[in-house]
Amino acid sequence: MMEFLENKRIFPGILGNIEYDGQLSVTAYIILAVVLLGIIAGLGWCFYRAVMENGKPVEPQIHDEVGD
pLDDT at residue 2 tops 70: no
Give pLDDT tens digits for 10-67: 555 666 666 778 888 899 999 999 999 999 999 999 999 988 887 777 777 677 655 5
What is the per-residue pLDDT for 44?
A: 96
Residue 44 lies in a domain: yes
Residue 17 lies in a domain: no
Q: How far apart are CA 18 and CA 50, in angstroms?
A: 46
Number of domains forming the structure of the chain: 1
Q: Which of the pair, 50 or 8, is modelled with greater confidence?
A: 50
Residue 27 lies in a domain: yes
Beta carbons of 17 and 6 less than 8 angstroms apart = no
Amino acid at 45: W
**Host domain of residue 41:** 23-55
Beta carbons of 2 and 18 less than 8 angstroms apart = yes
What is the per-residue pLDDT for 66?
A: 58
Whether this prediction's pTM lies above 0.85 is answered by no
